[in-house]
Each structure stands twice: as C-alpha cells, then as structure tokens.
Structure 1
Amino acid sequence: MVTLTDIKDASPRWLKDVGDTLTRSYGRRTATARPVPDFLIIGTKRGGTTSLFNYLLMHPGVLGLFPQVRGRKSTDYFFKEYHRGEGWYRSHFHTDSYRRLVARSAGHRPVSGEASPYYQWDPRIAERVRATAPDVRAIALLRDPVDRAWSHHQERAANGVEPLGFEAALAAEEDRLAGELDAMLADPAYYSTAYDFYSYRSRGLYLPQIQNWHASFPEGQLLVLRSEDMYSDVQGTFDTVCDFLGLPHFALPSTKPFNAITRSSIPPNARKELEDFYSGPNQHLADYLGRPLLWT
C-alpha cells in the first residue's frame, strides 16, 4: 500500500519544500486547536531515543509529528527554533478533532510527542519545556557513558564533522567547549554546534542533567531508564513506557533497533581512562536515583 509518506519521499526537493511551507502555514493557522505534546524522549544521545520513538509510533495510540515524515522525530524547537513561538511549535502536533477520531478507533485517548537527545543536554531546555508544556512526561534513556562517548564519536566521524581520532577528540574537548555554555546562557537564541557535536566525555555526566530536569519537573513526570535494559528487553521496556504514559500494553510487531551504526572496538587505553573518569559520577548517579550501580 502506497502511503502519503511514500509519495512525499519520492517527490523532488522543490515540491517537498512547497508542501512543507503550505503544511506549516496551515498548522500555524490552526495552532490553538493543537495541544502541546504529552511526552518527550529527551536523551541521551546515542542512547536509543530514535529506537524508542519508533517503537512508540508502532502503538495505535501514539501519534507522530504533523505531518508525519519518515525518519523525523524532533522539531528542535526548544534549542534551535524557540524564537518562532509556541504557535509554531503547536503546529507540529495533531488537532483535538483528529485525536478524537483516533480515540474512537483505539478505544482510548492517543498521546503525541517528539524525541531529541539534545533536550536532556542543554540546561536551558527543561525550564522552557515547563513553561510550554507543564504536564508533559519526559523519558531519559541513559547508556553506559563509556560506550556512549565512543558511539557519539563514531557518528560524528561518519558524518564528516569530526576530523580527530577518539583519543585526540577527548583531549581537545575542554578547549572546544570552552566558553560555549556561558555564551548559551547569555544568549537564549544561541545554539552551539561544539557543545552538541564534541561533548563526548562531558555528556556522559548524567547526574547534573537529571537534577536539572527534576528542578522543573517532579519525579513522577520523569522516567529514567537504562539503554542497556531496552536493548536486552525491548518489549519489557516498552511496557514500562506504556505504563508511564497511561497507554494499554501493545505487542510490538518488530523490535529491531533504529539508527544503529557499525560497531567497532573502543581503543583500550581510552576505555580504561573513561572508566576511571566515570567511576565516581556513576556512583553518585546511582545514589541519587536510589538504584544499584548502573554500570561497572
């Protein structure tokens, strides 16, 4: 069966641009009839946010972005597009009337949301989300920070934006990020590619990121999961997420991962150095969450 998404994917670039402009214009005109999202998958980068979002889209009670485009999971609103305003943001979600239509078919109110691993990392975002969607439920996937850093570097190198090897990139990280956070805090519209692209080591310091979200949202609105648990038991983790979002359980038709990259071995010296670096922070995170040590 050919879908509208298939037709759009096969269209030339200029036609896609025209369609996007018209769709966004319509979405903005009807923004008041479009609720803010029910959930956000906020991170971590290379922690399975794309996979979890795609698993949720398999559920008949979960709506993607409007219009739904294959591979698109985020609006980037809270860090790149915040100046466009709430009406622009709401234009990316389905109307109340469409949700009522889906509810009649699904037998319950559908939920909608988006996923961006940058939402957990940028310290400005939790407060912005609170101002826009105070009832939203956020999901954080935390991956072993050593493996996360290596996967992050592999992705940046594959995308052609990282000229340095892994160990050299770790050594350069402090200089690359110097002053970037201060610039972000001073300018609400500033997006730092360095802070996003090259934060291999610092992005694995999860405790300040979780505490930052807890400063804006109570514990019951933030679900913290281990990425490894999702990788080892997709359906079980999915059921936990469904409970958190108030959705009935649903048997996933596929549990294949999304956005995976070719795995290779992290250099042994870099692994040992990072394991030592994260030993204390990982223990502090476990103490804060009241759980056994998440990674050894």
Structure 2
Amino acid sequence: MTPLFLLGAPKCATTSLYEHLARHPQLSAPSVKEPGYFSRSGIRPDVRARTPHVQSFDAYLALFDQRNDKIRAWCDGSTSYLRSPEALQAIRAKFPDARAIAVVRDPVDLVSSYYTFLRHERWENAPTLEEAWNAQEARREGVGIPDAARRPDSLVYADVAMLGSQVETAKRVFGASLLVFTVDDLRSDLQRVSRVIQEHAGLDPLDLGALPQSNPARQANSERLNALVKDPPEWLAKAASGLKARLGVTSLGIRRKVERANSTPVRRELAVETRDRLRAFFSADVALLSSILHRDLRAEWGWTDTA
C-alpha cells in the first residue's frame, strides 16, 4: 500500500484536491485531512494532549483503511509538513516508498489568504495583515501568540510562504517521488494533474470529476459564536473528545455545520504598498522556485510589472 502525502502549502487548494482524490475507490482518505503527526511538535501542548492520532504512530496509522483489499494507497493531507524539514525527513525515514505532492501559488496571495483564514480560526488577533506581518519576529520567539492558536508557527507568515526553499528541501528528501503543481495547474488542467497523481500513487486512472470548491476564506457573522466553536472551553473540548472516542469517530460533524451557518465567504484586496513590500520580500524565493520548476512564475503570477 502506497503512502501519499499532500504536503502543502496551506491555502493552495489542497483541501479541494484532497476531496477530489478521495473520490477514488482505491484511496483511503480519512475525514481528518490534516493529522499533523509528523509535525506534532508544533501543535500547542494542551491540544496535542487531547488529539488521539498524534499520541502514537499506531493511532496515526489507524486513521487509514488498510484492511480493504481494494485500497492501494492512503493519503495524509497535512499542509504543515512542507515547511518542516524535520517532518519531511521523518516521513521519508518511516515510509521510504512514500509519494509526495506539493501545490504552490503566488506567496503574496498565500499570505493574504492565510491571514484571513487564521483570523476566522481565531489563531490570529492582529487587526490587519500589516500588523500581523510586523509581529512575526516576536511570535517566532513565542511572544504575542493568541491563546486560540493551536499551531503557533503558523503565525510566522514568511516561513509558511517561503515556497522555493521548501520545495528545494522536499525535492532533496523525496527526489523523483515528489510532484509539484501550481494552483493554476489545478484550475486549468485538472484532468491531467489528477491522472498524473493517480498514477504516481499506483491507482487505476479514473475520471474523478470537477475540483470541489472547498475551504474558501470566510468571515464570521457572530464573533461570540465563532469563539465558542473555534476555541471551546476546556470542559466542552474534553466532552467532545470523549464522545468521539466512545463513538469511534474522528469528527461529530457539528462544528463544520455551525461554522458554515455562521460565516460568509470574503475576499480582501491588498493595499498596493503591502503587495509591493511582500513581492520584494519573496522575490528571490520566487526566482528559486522558478528555477526548480523550470517555469517563469513571475510572469505566470503577474509580477512582471515589479522590479
């Protein structure tokens, strides 16, 4: 059985791709898309303590259906892996035959989308992206981390979106077992990308349909309700964990339904000054990624009007 890792990056249509691939009858893709087992050291200790599938390797493997003879591969879609060299090395050590996928996008758009996502998740409390960006170095040292942030390293946006260096490391670890696509590839040539990934994982090539529109950036209608859902009191979190354990499920499905009912999709445009600042910051890394992929990503991402 082939392990398939959808390494990241976050806000790069990985949820949509995961749900698309999950339609394949030969792939085990559990409801827990991002177990985060190999990057568990970055999870807040109290959250880690009440998350069964990061407690042991056996508990992690139990997420995947390995008893069905029809299953040829299983998929872990944890987007925290791509930015963690330690996670990549650990995956390769445990699963020498693993296949890996990375999806990338314009890092400036990634940062903007990820900031909006983390605001909705209540992991981020800076009122503007500019303030969040300026707080990165302090947060890298553990200063100013919001209480609800389950994975504090997510708040260091520069590290999350440094895709060139991440892909360079991943290619060094996985070699030809790593495939890299852009979000635009998924949008413009999904059937080819899907077929290549299926063959990469040892699956019979099937038409899996359109790409689902999953996990768009959202804004809460009621912040009080959002706070209760995203960062529940300890007694409620423990009760929910206990109920899931008794029922033998990884999700009750309640949280997602409440989130959907209490939020609306949102798209925020970056200020020109902020976009220029971030493009300047990521310019060398985009050049590195372009050289690795043998593509002119500056042109593909509309950076040709900047120095």
Tell me whether 1:231 sits opposite 2:193 in the alignment: no
Residue 73 of structure 1 aligns to a residue whose secondary structure is: coil
Which residue number corresponds to residue 197 of structure 2? 241
Task: Determine if contact 1:235/1:255 at 8 Å carries over to the other structure.
Answer: no
Which residue number corresponds to residue 283 of structure 2? 279
Give the AA of the match of 1:215.
R
Residue 168 of structure 2 aligns to a residue whose secondary structure is: helix
Task: Give the distance between the partners of 1:245 and 1:193, measured in 2 at CA.
Answer: 29
After TM superposition, give the deviation of residue 207 of structure 1 in Å.
Answer: 2.2
Q: How many residues align?
A: 235
**Aligned 1:249-268 pairs, distance under 5 A:** 249-261=205-217, 262-268=266-272
Which residue number corresponds to residue 215 of structure 1? 172
Give the AA of the match of 2:157.
Y
Tell me whether 1:46 sits opposite 2:11 in the alignment: yes
Give the AA of the match of 1:146.
V
The alignment's TM-score, normalised by the length of structure 2, stands at 0.70
Residue 39 of structure 2 aligns to a residue whose secondary structure is: coil
Which residue number corresponds to residue 163 of structure 1? 125
After TM superposition, give the deviation of residue 114 of structure 1 in Å.
Answer: 1.4
**Aligned 1:1-296 pairs, distance under 5 A:** 38-65=3-30, 69=31, 72-80=32-40, 84-95=55-66, 97-98=67-68, 100=69, 102=70, 110-164=72-126, 165-178=128-141, 193-196=151-154, 198-218=155-175, 220-261=176-217, 262-293=266-297, 295=301, 296=303
* TM-superposition CA deviations, 1:94-141 (whole Å, max 9, x none): 23x41x2x2xxxxxx632111011011122101110121111101000
Residue 39 of structure 1 aligns to a residue whose secondary structure is: strand
After TM superposition, give the deviation of residue 192 of structure 1 in Å.
Answer: 8.0
After TM superposition, give the deviation of residue 169 of structure 1 in Å.
Answer: 0.8
After TM superposition, give the deviation of residue 91 of structure 1 in Å.
Answer: 1.6
Task: Determine if contact 1:157/1:163 at 8 Å carries over to the other structure.
Answer: yes
Q: Identity of paired residues, percent?
A: 26
Task: Determine if contact 2:7/2:80 at 8 Å carries over to the other structure.
Answer: yes
Runs (4+) of structure 1 moved beyond 3 Å?
A: 81-85
The alignment's TM-score, normalised by the length of structure 1, stands at 0.72
Task: Give the distance between the partners of 2:142 and 2:21, measured in 1 at CA.
Answer: 38
Question: Judging changes above 3 Å, is the alpha-carbon distance between structure 1 residues 132 and 277 closer, same or farther for their aligned structure 2 residues?
Answer: same
* TM-superposition CA deviations, 1:230-279 (whole Å, max 9, x none): 13333332222223223333223332321112222122211111112222
Residue 124 of structure 1 aligns to a residue whose secondary structure is: helix
Question: Judging changes above 3 Å, is the alpha-carbon distance between structure 1 residues 86 and 178 closer, same or farther for their aligned structure 2 residues?
Answer: same
Task: Give the distance between the partners of 2:54 and 2:193, measured in 1 at CA.
Answer: 35
Which residue number corresponds to residue 19 of structure 1? none
Task: Determine if contact 2:83/2:166 at 8 Å carries over to the other structure.
Answer: yes
CA-based RMSD of the aligned residues comes to 2.3
Question: Judging changes above 3 Å, is the alpha-carbon distance between structure 1 residues 176 and 292 closer, same or farther for their aligned structure 2 residues?
Answer: same
Task: Determine if contact 2:12/2:110 at 8 Å carries over to the other structure.
Answer: yes
* TM-superposition CA deviations, 1:53-111 (whole Å, max 9, x none): 1000112222223xxx4xx212221122797343222222223x41x2x2xxxxxx632
